[in-house]
Structure 1
Amino acid sequence: MAGRDFLVFLALTVVSSSLVLPKASGNSEGDALYALRRSFSDPDNVLQSWDPNLVNPCTWFHVTCNQDNHVTRVDLGNSNLSGHLVPELGKLEHLQYLELYKNNIQGEIPAELGNLKNLISLDLYNNNISGRIPPSLGNLKSLVFLRLNDNQLNGPIPRALASISSLKVVDVSNNNLCGTIPSTGPFEHIPLNNFENNPRLEGPELQGLAIYDTNCW
């Protein structure tokens, strides 16, 4: 009986340890950033310090954290990176600044970026990003700066962006957007040259009404 009890105790210990260890060794923000690192080609080794074995990513270069060790900034502009963005970035719920401009990032903008409710600045300009601007970015109610210019984006400008009252700067010039330029909310004050060099983009909308081009895809 004693031997059997010992085996039961040992089995429970192993199961308990397997449940506890991932929580102790994992960090969701570090995991999200490391997923980004894995998706990038980094010839200049700017991400060399991004070590997934650390407790949190606050000691990594180009990452800033607040006093509670939550990631608030990712500064990787002009870093000679190529690859694509990853949906895991949407887990950085305290992120305020995502600076990835002037790289060679390709692929689409993940819809999960709409989960970054504290985001103030989204700078993805001067890359090779394609696809549509996700309507989920309209959920970013703290957003002030949205710079997506000089990419390969297509489709319409999401009308959900017009509901972001904090938005001050929108630049989507030099893409392949289509449809019409919103004229309500923050778009009332955005200069038209921030929309230029989109051959299929028209506007602004008359009387704030959304006019959709059936060929805008």
Structure 2
Amino acid sequence: METSQLFNVLAIFLLSDPFAVVNANSEGDALFAFRRAVKDPNNVLESWDPTLVDPCTWFHITCDDDKRVTRLDLGHAKLSGHLVPELGRLQRLQFLELYKNDLMGPIPKELGELKNLLSLGLYQNNLTGSIPATLSNLSNIKFLRLNSNKLTGRIPRELTKLGNLKILDLSNNDLCGTFPTYGSFSKFSQESFKNNPRLKGPELMGFVRYDTGESCK
């Protein structure tokens, strides 16, 4: 194909969907920011090549027909390092599965921008800090599993408005205060909160009990 013909084909593609390449590059940049933030001893991220037009050919990534990222599946990949706020740019992401790794540091509040998220699986890592209240913006989420980390602080009461939540597991952390038993949390037993030594018991709607003093600092 001559150079002029190739240029015309590319021009038609860009005019037909002017945001396709921009979105793909933005999501690729976000994912590559995560790659830079982690150590990957088994080279499971070797295919993540930032020079490609979009990340849909990378292993452990699933995209929709518009070449937008919908799944990130990296459970049990022996990754260590940190989550990055750039992950909040993956606006069509439905599944963020990073369980059973050695991820450290806080959960970025920007994950609350993933409005299409159905499942957040961060369990069995070494995450620290508090649970971001911004996760209450994940109105479509069905599976929220943050168990077996080193999370501290109170359970955000805002999370009780997540009406689609089917599975909740906050067990085996160091959360404190009391745990809600109203709103969407009313369907979950104490198993969802077990092995948090500083949690003092249920908090009922209309009888809000906050612990004071050193127990929740």
Give the TM bin, normalised by the shorter chain.
Answer: 0.7 to 0.9
Q: In the superposition, relative to structure 1, how do residues 109 and 89 fare at CA in structure 2: closer, same or farther (>3 Å)?
A: same
Give the secondary structure class of the aligned counterpart of 1:27: helix
- Which shifted more, 187-196 or 37-46? 187-196
Contact 2:75 2:97 in 1 (8 A): yes
Contact 1:125 1:148 in 2 (8 A): yes
Alignment of 1:70-89 (within 5 A): 70-89=68-87
**Cα-to-partner distance string for 1:51-88 (whole Å, 9 max, x where unaligned):** 00011100000000001100000000000000000000
d(CA) in 2 for partners of 1:85, 1:168: 25
- Which shifted more, 150-159 or 204-213? 204-213
Alignment of 1:1-217 (within 5 A): 27-214=25-212, 215=214, 216-217=216-217
If you compute each CA radius of gyration, which structure gives the higher value, 1 or 2?
A: 1
Give the secondary structure class of the aligned counterpart of 1:37: helix
Alignment correspondent of 1:14: none
d(CA) in 2 for partners of 1:154, 1:170: 17
Superposition RMSD in Å: 1.4
d(CA) in 2 for partners of 1:64, 1:113: 18
**Cα-to-partner distance string for 1:168-204 (whole Å, 9 max, x where unaligned):** 1110100000011111111111121121110001221
**Cα-to-partner distance string for 1:9-60 (whole Å, 9 max, x where unaligned):** xxxxxxxxxxxxxx87971100000000000000000000000001110000
Task: State the percentage of identical aligned residues.
Answer: 60
**Cα-to-partner distance string for 1:86-143 (whole Å, 9 max, x where unaligned):** 0000000000000000000000000000000000000000000000000000000001
For 1:173, give the aligned amino acid. Answer: S
Alignment correspondent of 2:17: none
d(CA) in 1 for partners of 2:207, 2:176: 16
TM-score (norm 1): 0.87
Contact 1:178 1:200 in 2 (8 A): yes
Contact 1:156 1:180 in 2 (8 A): yes
Q: In the superposition, relative to structure 1, how do residues 63 and 26 fare at CA in structure 2: closer, same or farther (>3 Å)?
A: closer
d(CA) in 2 for partners of 1:26, 1:168: 31
For 2:162, give the aligned amino acid. Answer: I
Contact 2:24 2:68 in 1 (8 A): no
d(CA) in 2 for partners of 1:38, 1:69: 22
Q: In the superposition, relative to structure 1, how do residues 57 and 206 fare at CA in structure 2: closer, same or farther (>3 Å)?
A: same
d(CA) in 1 for partners of 2:209, 2:157: 11
Contact 1:183 1:208 in 2 (8 A): no
Q: In the superposition, relative to structure 1, how do residues 32 and 209 fare at CA in structure 2: closer, same or farther (>3 Å)?
A: farther
CA-CA distance at 1:211 after TM superposition: 1.9
For 2:106, give the aligned amino acid. Answer: E
Give the secondary structure class of the aligned counterpart of 1:178: strand
